[in-house]
Chain A
Amino acid sequence: MRTHAARIATLSEAVAELVHDGDTVALEGFTHLIPVAAGHEIIRQGRRDLTLVRMTPDIVYDQLIGAGCARKLVFSWGGNPGVGSLHRLRDAVEHGWPHELEIEEHSHAGMANRYAASAAGLPFAVMRGYTGTDLPTHTATIKTVTCPFTGEELTAVPNLGLDVGIVHAQRADRQGNVQMWGLCGVQKETVLGAQRSLVTVEEIVDELAPMPNQVVLPSWVVTAIAAVPQGARPSYAQGYYDRDNDAYRAWDGIARDRERFQRWLDEEVMAAKGAVA
């Protein structure tokens, strides 16, 4: 099979091309390098019925859910780290607003293994986990499997079946090779585990100077790259800007109230149409 280099596109072109109604989409980032701008573009383009996948759905997932983009959420920890609840997520689960949201919940270890199975092209991953908890009773994607070598009963969790994986990274070169460093969560697995991938980057440079603990994704495993400076805010991009902890605290008040959220959405996301090329 011939491979293709990543296409360098605008954010709106890339989202229009790669993300379709009804897709299973992961926008990953474990606190760091969260592709917030890409999430906002999905809201602006009015995508519906998405199955959203994320280990730690935080405020951009709260926004996607509140904006009505999601049919289902697959996750392991849904909160505003260090602050409290995600009120739009809670409103959807507790009151069906703006509509019913199906949830499929795992532990971090389980989700991490699902990403690893996806990246490895395996139907499932094996782990020790969930034993004795109530999670397998409510989550159909937690099963057991017997080790063929020792006879031990272990836990199996399936491939995520991602249509699209979206992450943010520090930079890419003009050939579309992507470089990121710092806490990289499941960023690599998200790109390798999806049919199509979009990486937004702080900048596109001539040459990728090596960095400590770097993860490099070669151009030919990435579908599209879009330069979106500040594209992870209010999360952070190590070496570029810090986490805006005040914005995470402020989100609590905005998200508590449906009308205030709607106003925020209109002003901060919808009105920005075309602002991010």
Chain B
Amino acid sequence: MSTETEAPAFTAEELLTIAAARVLEDGTTCFVGIGPPGAAANLAQRLHAPGLVLVYESGAIGAKPDHLPLSIGDGILGETADAVVSVPEMFNYWVQPGRIDVGFLGAAQIDRYANINTTVVGDYEHPQVRLPGAGGAPEIAANCGEVIVILRQSRRAFVETVDFVTSVGHGAGVGGSFSRQHLGLRGAGPTKVITDLGILEPDPQTLELRLTALHQGVTVEQAREATGWDLQVAGELEILSPPTTEELDMLRALKA
């Protein structure tokens, strides 16, 4: 991208991870999905949220890893957990009754109503790209108090309609048979989609994702360009402050 001397102070990935870490509140329980959410949740625990309870689908409840695990089942998670449970217990006793405040998920595709696809790009029987699949996400998205999604923003990922609904966000919006209420999903669903351009949140009236914040230096046009539907913009648009040196140092130390 740039040469060493002109390199930006941080990468898009770091910007996204730090923005996501900031929204996790101290004292909440957070189900940490596979991939980018792991770095953000671990960073939050080290910065402003030492009381953040990290829950991993591998069975670790209250993990306090001293370095960033590569997988959701690295040894450090079990060794530092308050409790280690079996996977059936994790999903049946902890996720299903709604004991977890925040489900923190990544996605390959997300649509206008924050429905998530991690299964296939293209037709199911003859996929262009076979993705890893559902994992814990469908029930995390259904049952956690709320869901925060983090992913890079592009037209390929932010689509009008997902090719496959792996996890329900806000269905087809308010009312109708494909709404969270009608489906009986207990959690509030996605409340924030955090990207390298800004933050999208469901419109309180329609539940359609709209732009509510931008990272410093990013324009509304850039965000609209990187979205596969006619992205609406909130009346008051927040400008997110750039990552601090402390945040960047901490994140880089985690990954080292």
List the interface of chain A (C-beta within 8 A of B): 30-32, 55-56, 75-79, 81-83, 85-86, 89-90, 93-94, 105-109, 112-113, 115-116, 127-135, 138, 182-186, 188-189, 213, 236, 238, 242-243, 245, 248
Which listed residue (B69, B127, B168) contacts A133, Cβ 8 A?
B168
Taking a contact as CB atoms under 8 Å apart, the answer to whether B127 and A105 are in contact is: no
Instruction: Tell me, in angstroms, the Cα distance from A31 to B56 when the chains sit together.
Output: 12
Chain A proximity mask over B80-122: 1 for CB below 8 Å, otherwise 0 = 0000101110111001100000000000000000000001000
Is B124 engaged at the interface, CB distance under 8 Å to the other chain? yes
* Chain B minimum-CB-distance residue to A186: B87
* Chain B minimum-CB-distance residue to A55: B87
Chain A proximity mask over B122-153: 1 for CB below 8 Å, otherwise 0 = 00100111111111111100110000000000
Taking a contact as CB atoms under 8 Å apart, the answer to whether A182 and B142 are in contact is: no
Q: Is the interface of B mostly helix, strand, loop or mixed?
A: loop
Which listed residue (A90, A107, A183) contacts B58, Cβ 8 A?
A183
Query: In the complex, how many residue pairs between chain A and chain B have their CB atoms under 8 Å apart?
Result: 173
Taking a contact as CB atoms under 8 Å apart, the answer to whether B34 and A189 are in contact is: no
Count residues of chain B with CB under 8 A from any CB of chain A. Answer: 53
Chain A proximity mask over B173-194: 1 for CB below 8 Å, otherwise 0 = 0000010100111000000000
* Chain A minimum-CB-distance residue to B134: A107
A276 → chain B, closest Cβ, in Å? 24
Taking a contact as CB atoms under 8 Å apart, the answer to whether B132 and A105 are in contact is: no
Taking a contact as CB atoms under 8 Å apart, the answer to whether B171 and A132 are in contact is: yes
Q: Beyond A109-B92, A128-B142, A238-B79, list 19 extra A-B contacts (CB 8 Å).
A: A31-B73, A32-B58, A76-B134, A77-B134, A79-B132, A83-B70, A86-B132, A107-B137, A108-B134, A109-B95, A109-B136, A109-B139, A112-B91, A113-B92, A135-B166, A183-B60, A183-B75, A236-B75, A245-B74
Taking a contact as CB atoms under 8 Å apart, the answer to whether A32 and B78 are in contact is: yes
* Chain B minimum-CB-distance residue to A115: B88
- List B contacts of A90 (CB < 8 A): 129-130
Taking a contact as CB atoms under 8 Å apart, the answer to whether A134 and B119 are in contact is: yes
Taking a contact as CB atoms under 8 Å apart, the answer to whether A131 and B183 are in contact is: yes
Taking a contact as CB atoms under 8 Å apart, the answer to whether B164 and A134 are in contact is: yes
Taking a contact as CB atoms under 8 Å apart, the answer to whether B78 and A109 are in contact is: no
A-B pairs, top 4 by smallest CB distance, nearest first, are: A31-B73, A79-B132, A81-B71, A77-B135
* Chain B minimum-CB-distance residue to A238: B75
- Asked whether A186 and B70 contact (CB < 8 A) given A77-B132, A107-B137, A129-B138, the answer is no
- List A contacts of B180 (CB < 8 A): 132
B67 → chain A, closest Cβ, in Å? 11
- List A contacts of B168 (CB < 8 A): 131-133
- Asked whether A113 and B139 contact (CB < 8 A) given A132-B183, A134-B164, the answer is no
Taking a contact as CB atoms under 8 Å apart, the answer to whether B165 and A133 are in contact is: yes
* Chain A minimum-CB-distance residue to B184: A131
- List B contacts of A116 (CB < 8 A): 88, 92
Taking a contact as CB atoms under 8 Å apart, the answer to whether B166 and A189 are in contact is: no
- List A contacts of B60 (CB < 8 A): 183
Instruction: Tell me, in angstroms, the Cα distance from A243 to B76 when the chains sit together.
Output: 10
- Asked whether A30 and B58 contact (CB < 8 A) given A112-B91, A132-B168, the answer is yes
Taking a contact as CB atoms under 8 Å apart, the answer to whether B58 and A213 are in contact is: no
Taking a contact as CB atoms under 8 Å apart, the answer to whether B78 and A81 are in contact is: no
Instruction: Tell me, in angstroms, the Cα distance from A213 to B143 when the chains sit together.
Output: 27
B40 → chain A, closest Cβ, in Å? 14
* Chain B minimum-CB-distance residue to A243: B74
A236 → chain B, closest Cβ, in Å? 6
Is B243 engaged at the interface, CB distance under 8 Å to the other chain? no
Taking a contact as CB atoms under 8 Å apart, the answer to whether B130 and A93 are in contact is: yes
Is B35 engaged at the interface, CB distance under 8 Å to the other chain? yes
Most buried by A among B69, B71, B127: B71
Instruction: Tell me, in angstroms, the Cα distance from A138 to B96 when the chains sit together.
Output: 23
B70 → chain A, closest Cβ, in Å? 4
- List B contacts of A243 (CB < 8 A): 70-71, 74-75
Is B57 engaged at the interface, CB distance under 8 Å to the other chain? yes
Taking a contact as CB atoms under 8 Å apart, the answer to whether B91 and A108 are in contact is: yes
Is B198 engaged at the interface, CB distance under 8 Å to the other chain? no
- List B contacts of A85 (CB < 8 A): 130-132
- Asked whether A108 and B142 contact (CB < 8 A) given A79-B132, A183-B60, the answer is no
- List B contacts of A89 (CB < 8 A): 130
A113 → chain B, closest Cβ, in Å? 7
* Chain A minimum-CB-distance residue to B95: A109
Taking a contact as CB atoms under 8 Å apart, the answer to whether A78 and B132 are in contact is: yes
- List B contacts of A138 (CB < 8 A): 124
- Asked whether A112 and B164 contact (CB < 8 A) given A85-B132, A185-B59, the answer is no
Taking a contact as CB atoms under 8 Å apart, the answer to whether A133 and B167 are in contact is: yes
- List B contacts of A184 (CB < 8 A): 59, 84, 86
